[in-house]
Amino acid sequence: MFWRSCRSSIEPSSRGLDACGLLLILSMLASCSGSPTPTEVAAISSPTAIGNATTVISPTPSSTASPRPTVATLTATPGRTARTETPSPTRSPAATLTPTRALTPTPSRTPQVPTPTLLPTQTITVTMRPSVTPTPAFSPTPVPTVAFTDDVVNILLIGLDSTSNLNGQNTDVLIVVSVNKTTRQVSMLSIPRDLWVYIPTYGWNRINTAHRRGYSLGYPGMGPALLIDTMEINFGLPIHHWARVDFVGFTKVVDQLGGIDITVACPVNLRFKPPTSEEEQEMVLMPGIYHMDGDTALKYVRTRRDGSDFDRSRRQHQFLKALWSQFKNPDIITRIPGLWTALSGSVKTDLQLDDLLSLARVGIDIKPQRVHSYYIGRNETMNWVTDQGWQVLLPRLDKIQQVLAKLPLPPSAVEDQVASEGAAIAVLNGTTKPNLPQFAADQLQWYGLKITATGVADRADYLKTQIIVFTDKPKAVAALAKVLRVREADILYQQGGGQGVDIRVILGADYDPCR
């Protein structure tokens, strides 16, 4: 298979993907049409916290809310062998799966290829000890590779604190972006960093250690290669390309693009440590729409305060969607070559400039209803404490396989039918809570629903959300009822009076954008 050749490349030492390069990769996962222009945008730059005070930031009206251009997307070029700057040895995933707790590689080791005919284990076996701690089996059988056509490109996005010491830095973010060039579909999959997996040539550990083990062990292809092989052996998920950014590079990407508009539906605590202090400071974002600089956006996608790693994964997906939604514009293609060198070194990837250009041209065609988010979450894992006392997540492989099987599925006919109805929808606020229509619009656009107007209702004491139908649009009505959890009794039909819209939604006190 063509993409197998891409995985033999070692990490480029001098070639970097800049701000736009990362944007293009992210765009694959987040391509969408422009979202409604917010009525209130708070511009946020890095605050200076004093002492132990808590900074509470609320959105303030802005007369210059940033317009959101239409989108651009990514395409992969079939039949091309990825180029590398440094010749690398022929590398295949290590299938020496008879583990000791830590296997020591020798310089003469030749990785073995797990054959496609290897049979899956039903799950990683768990045996109970008298000490109450379950221990997974030491030698998992590599699971069969998930079937993807040649039209699908899987790109692994790797985020970590710093690249100054790759031997000692665990990965902080792992997201797989799966792009189907034919169906114009993008799927994002977040992988929790505490997932307990078998790392070839090393043994059992958290998946976020695989990248640095690749460097410290001198694995062929180094950190990205060992991480990719770990994912394929444990989950059967093939990775064709990778891109890596550290926190400094992340902030440069966002700042170079002029900041990013983020809809914050729920209060978020952005606890952080200023560079001039050893004490952590609190900064709480109240619900609203914010224009974030790179440093604030980094805090937003990193924080786990008052939440979990799974909540953070959802914010990361939201950021990626917002990023490409804001910059999805054919003009972005003309900026790529200049941006390629503007932030050289901020992002590393085995993708080449011409690969990114071709992917960007495809992205223009991706519709919001064809951008999907998936997670290896609570249903796919269980809490476990290792012999060393580490709290980790033990994978439930049968559940994980069900999630992975969704990545290559064709687009849903229902989603396309919703979009093809073209219903013009107005969303009005029937409560005293601010910004609810903007929160709903941000949510509904990813289901193929077109929000043409937002505003306030005739009164502010609606208890239940209502859907008022002026023009027969059954698919759109069904989608609205499902997403907003509206009962059939609260769907009303009227002839005429729509004032230029087909459907009017009045949000009541039961609407919870955080649910």
As separate numbers, helices (DSSP H) first and strands (DSSP E) second, the chain gives 12, 23
Residue range 29-46: mean pLDDT, rounded: 46
Mean pLDDT of the chain: 75
- DSSP E strands in 149-240: the ranges are 152-160, 171-180, 185-190, 196-199, 203-206
Six-digit token string for 356: 């990114």
* pLDDT band at residue 80 under the 50/70/90 scheme: very low
Tell me the three state secondary structure of residue 487: coil
pLDDT tens for each residue of 118-177: 333 334 443 333 333 344 545 567 777 887 878 889 999 998 887 777 888 889 889 999
Asked if the model's pLDDT at residue 1 lies above 50, the reply is no
The answer to whether residue 102 is domain-embedded is: no
Check whether residue 474 and residue 380 sit in a common domain.
Answer: no
For position 344, what pLDDT does the model report?
Answer: 64
pTM of the predicted structure, to 2 decimals: 0.71
The answer to whether residue 54 is domain-embedded is: no
* Among 343, 376, 410, residue at a domain's last position: 410
Opening angle at CA 114, ends 112 and 120, nearest 5:
150
In which domain, by residue range, is 447 found?
413-507
Check whether residue 384 and residue 457 sit in a common domain.
Answer: no
* pLDDT band at residue 338 under the 50/70/90 scheme: low
Residue 2, Ramachandran bin (φ over 0: left; ψ between -120 and 50: alpha; else beta): alpha
* Among 355, 377, 410, residue at a domain's last position: 410
Q: What is the CATH number of the domain that holds 466?
A: 3.30.70
How many domains does the structure of the chain reveal? 2
pLDDT tens for each residue of 192-238: 999 999 999 999 999 999 999 999 999 999 999 999 999 999 999 99
Check whether residue 14 and residue 28 sit in a common domain.
Answer: yes
Give the span between the Cα atoms of 291 and 286, in whole angstroms: 13
